[in-house]
Structure 1
Amino acid sequence: MTPILNKLIFGFTFFRERYFSERKDLYRRLVREGQKPKVVMIACADSRVDPAIVLQTDPGDVFAIRNVANLVPPYEEDENGEISYHGTSAALEFAVEQLGVEHVVVFGHAHCSGVKAMIHGQEGNKVAGRFVGAWTSIVDKAYEHAKAADPHIEGEDLDRACERHAVLVSLDNLMTFPFIRERVEAGTLQIHGWYLDIAEGELSSYDANEKRFTPLM
């Protein structure tokens, strides 16, 4: 075993002997009664921003969807009855229609490599890899919006602006899903855009009235 795998196995041992043993009834109830989370969170696959750690959630609190750059693709249907693979869309459908969550949170973050890849592509550079470029192009509009707001923006400022605008593009894309739009309009589902700066320990939420991200605490 390599050191990192040994660390993971030791971590499970610690979890089983400490955390699990103290909360065994909770886990067994969740298995017996099924999960009933109130929140679905679309978070980044980035190893530094695990929402369960950052937000200190309990098992059963959050249905987590993690992908590169915490993106929501627009709703689309396959043509001619042919089925493609829609991982994030399938997870959203399950969380909203089957689990009946009450909140959808797009959980963006600073220093996001996926958003950085999108910026590289928008500036005419080749994006490394076969799939990342196509996936992150979902939020190409984030670059356009950042540049429209400040044509001279660049560097770290451009990165941070695009990360925030990417959250807003994903919020717009959420509303293209009929089962989400219907529930939002009926008042049974709320959607939120959050932004985490893990280096500074700061969390903010998009305020649609003020049209900006404001600190949550």
Structure 2
Amino acid sequence: MKDHVRPLPSYLIQRYQGWKATTYAENRNWYRRLAEDGQRPRAMVISCCDSRVHVTSIFGADQGEFFIHRNIANLVPPYNPDGDYHGTSAAVEYAVTTLKVAHLIVLGHSQCGGVEGCHAMCTGHAPELEDKTSFVGKWLGILRPGFERVAHLPETERQTALERESVVISLENLMTFPFVKAALDAGDMTIHGLWTDIGEGGLLQYDPASGAFLPV
């Protein structure tokens, strides 16, 4: 490992130094208070790893306001305490049972590469994702039920429909977690499904009554 781990690129060091000299310096007391008092985020956001999805910018959030978990295609697996590693499930458990967030948000987005990969896999065009050694393929298998719901649509409509299904599937899977359902039933937390258009800046929210995504 010692032959491969390198110092940060100079441009990242320069950006850090700029942040430390400006944003941090101007808000030093706030950062120190966050460190001393601990975090008390009001919401957890589960979003995609995609670098174009900038959760804090979309909502104008400050440090300490959001507990954010990112993964491929913003997916939540079903509750399954099988003893294997579950990064997303662990993050949800911590947010709900320890941080006691008031809102749990799943945020999908347009032009999602993970969703595109799931579509290719489900239509037989990505055999590499079906290989048992593919972490990405196994993960995207969570979305297979969503593909089955939109498979009848014209191909030109399927990508967007499947992106939104990634949100719905995750909401459905969240409901299989006992501690999530308990928090919801007690009125201690609400859950929300959102989809954002990264090119147009639009934001839609899932309406379970109609099954549609409507403008916020």
User: Does TM, scored on the shorter chain, surpass 0.5?
Assistant: yes
CA shift in 2, pair 1:128/1:11, >3 Å: farther
Q: What SS does the aligned partner of 1:206 have?
A: strand
Task: Mark the runs of 5 or more structure 2 residues left unpaired by the alignment.
Answer: 1-5
- Asked if structure 2 preserves the Cα contact closer than 8 Å seen for 1:205 and 1:214, the reply is yes
> Which residues in structure 2 correspond to 1:117-136 (within 5 Å)?
117-128=117-128, 130-136=134-140
Please name the residue that 1:153 is paired with. Answer: 154
Q: Which amino acid aligns with 1:35?
A: Q
Task: Mark the runs of 5 or more structure 1 residues left unpaired by the alignment.
Answer: none
Q: Which amino acid aligns with 1:18?
A: T
The correspondence for 1:71, drawn from 68, 75, 83, is: 75
Please name the residue that 1:185 is paired with. Answer: 185
Partner deviation per Cα, 1:30-81 (whole Å, 9 max, x = no partner): 1111000010000111111121233221000000000111100000012xxx
The correspondence for 1:57, drawn from 53, 56, 61, is: 61
Separation in 2, partners of 1:58, 1:202: 21
> Which residues in structure 2 correspond to 1:34-113 (within 5 Å)?
34-78=38-82, 83-113=83-113
TM-superposed deviation, 1:7: 2.4
Instruction: Give the share of equivalent positions with the same residue, in percent.
Output: 40
Residue correspondences, number: 206
RMSD: 1.6
TM-superposed deviation, 1:118: 0.7
> Which residues in structure 2 correspond to 1:134-213 (within 5 Å)?
134-147=138-151, 151-155=152-156, 157-213=157-213
Q: Give the TM-score normalised by the residue count of structure 2.
A: 0.91
CA shift in 2, pair 1:162/1:29, >3 Å: same
Q: What SS does the aligned partner of 2:18 have?
A: helix
The answer to whether 1:18 aligns with 2:22 is yes
Separation in 2, partners of 1:54, 1:16: 23
